[in-house]
């Protein structure tokens, strides 16, 4: 299944993405020569609910200061910078897409956070880290690209210390039903491996995790996309560029991806789900 990975990385690779983000922020009056991590919030969190969803997930982890945290599928680094800033964690991000690793690194440098975050290229299904390297881990909207949830869980269990917390926030399948592509994580069905909460729980417990909390967030997701669409439509009506938001990172066909995902959310087929797991 590793053969899928180059195609998945190409799906995410948007040409000139960092420049587009900086230009969009400058258009809204942000002083881009002196960026602070908070300035990027609208544009560097690539999952349903943006920074609010990251905060709600991380708040459930009870993180101690100065821990080492792993962000699996770290994208362009928004969640990693949030946790470094708000929980005082030292964060390592790993991501399949080299251009995202480069942008994450550059945005951390631009915001003075290069010492608190580092980003490496690699796959969640074979991570280049020694056993027991991290105190905690997060994964936000990545599992949909991972064909092997058992491997995700066993790899995460391997690199976490005993007692480590793993917070999952992925789009999961709640019932049968056809999906229409493209979706934000997949150009077509060959890249999409959406699984049920039951699949995640079984893979997690087999790897030695216990499930301490679970929360489906379908209604929250529908509301989030209604707001994103309203902002994009208002900008279009005024002949303006869309404001910085999750649509920017989804590229040219953002509207189609959002419409297809919204249909699956409204049909109750998919929903983002939080799972809080503890090793041992
Ligand atoms: C929807 S984005 C989420 C990014 C980030 N977690 C966030 O919330 O902002 C999905 C990310 O998963 C990454 N990804 C996909 N397959 C992966 C794999 N096998 N290993 C590591 N990262 C992967 C993609 O490159 C992309 O950055």
pLDDT digits (tens, 9 = 90+) for 108-158: 999 999 999 999 999 999 999 999 999 999 999 999 999 999 999 999 999
Distance CA 81, CA 40 (A): 10
CA of 225 relative to ligand 1 center, distance in Å = 20
Beta carbons of 250 and 258 less than 8 angstroms apart? yes
Please state, in angstroms and rounded to a whole number, the distance separating the CA atoms of residues 38 and 263. Answer: 31
Atom of ligand 1 nearest to the CA of 73: 22
Q: Which residue has the tokens 């905060």?
A: 55
State phi, psi for 85 to the nearest 5 degrees: -75, -40
Question: Starting at the edge strand that comes first in sequence, how are the strands of the sheet with 117-121 ordered?
Answer: 117-121, 90-95, 68-72, 134-140, 160-173, 270-279, 209-216
Per-residue pLDDT at 209 = 98
Contact (CB, 8 A) for 205 and 149: no
Instruction: Kindly report the protein residue whose alpha carbon is nearest to atom 20 of ligand 1.
Output: 123
Please report the atom of ligand 1 found closest to the CA of residue 124: 20
* DSSP annotation string for 63-117: PPTT-EEEEET-TTSHHHHHHHHHH--EEEEEES-HHHHHHHHHHHHHTT-TTTE
Distance 40 CA to ligand 1 centre (A): 18
CATH for 2-175+192-219+271-279 is: 3.40.50.150
- Closest CA to ligand 1's atom 7: 46
| Distance (Å) from CA 111 to ligand 1 centroid | 22
C-alpha span between 244 and 10 (Å, rounded)? 22
Quick check: CB of 82 below 6 Å from ligand 1? no
Whether this model's pTM surpasses 0.85: yes
Q: Is 280 exposed, middle or buried (0-12, 13-18, 19+ CB in 10 A)?
A: exposed
pLDDT of res. 1: 47
Domain ranges across the chain: 2-175+192-219+271-279
Which tens digit of pLDDT belongs to each residue from 185-204? 999 999 999 999 999 999 99
Structure tokens at 83: 């946790």
119 lines ligand 1 (CB under 6 A): no
Testing ligand 1's pocket by substitution, the residue of 53, 69, 75 carrying the most ligand atoms inside 8 A of its CB is 75
Which ranges of the chain have pLDDT less than 70?
A: 1-2
Query: Can you give the pLDDT at residue 2?
Result: 53
214 lines ligand 1 (CB under 6 A): no
User: Residue 130 Cα, ligand 1 centroid: separation in angstroms?
Assistant: 21
- The burial class, CB within 10 Å (0-12 / 13-18 / 19+), for 219 is exposed
């Amino acid at each position: 299944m590793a053969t899928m990975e180059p195609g998945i990385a190409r799906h995410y690779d948007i040409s000139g993405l960092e420049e587009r983000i900086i230009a969009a922020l400058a258009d809204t009056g942000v002083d881009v020569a002196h960026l602070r991590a908070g300035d990027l919030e609208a544009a560097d969190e690539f999952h349903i609910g943006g920074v609010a969803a990251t905060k709600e997930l991380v708040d459930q982890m009870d993180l101690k200061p100065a821990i080492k945290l792993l962000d699996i599928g770290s994208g362009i680094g928004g969640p990693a910078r949030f946790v470094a800033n708000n929980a005082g964690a030292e964060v390592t991000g790993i991501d399949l897409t080299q251009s995202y690793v480069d942008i994450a690194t550059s945005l951390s440098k631009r915001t003075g956070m290069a010492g608190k975050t580092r980003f490496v290229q690699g796959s969640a299904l074979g991570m280049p880290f020694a056993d027991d390297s991290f105190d905690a881990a997060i994964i936000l909207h990545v599992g949909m690209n991972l064909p092997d949830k058992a491997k995700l869980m066993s790899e995460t269990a391997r690199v976490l210390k005993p007692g480590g917390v793993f917070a999952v926030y992925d789009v999961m399948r709640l019932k049968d039903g056809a999906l229409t592509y493209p979706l934000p994580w997949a150009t077509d069905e060959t890249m999409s491996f959406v699984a049920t909460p039951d699949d995640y729980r079984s893979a997690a417990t087999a790897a030695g995790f216990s499930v301490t909390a679970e929360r489906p967030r379908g209604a929250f997701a529908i509301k989030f996309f209604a707001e994103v669409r309203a902002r994009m439509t208002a900008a279009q009506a005024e002949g303006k560029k869309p404001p910085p938001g999750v649509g920017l990172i989804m590229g040219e066909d953002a509207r189609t991806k959002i419409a297809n995902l919204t249909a699956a959310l409204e049909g109750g087929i998919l929903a983002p789900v939080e799972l809080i797991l503890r090793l041992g």
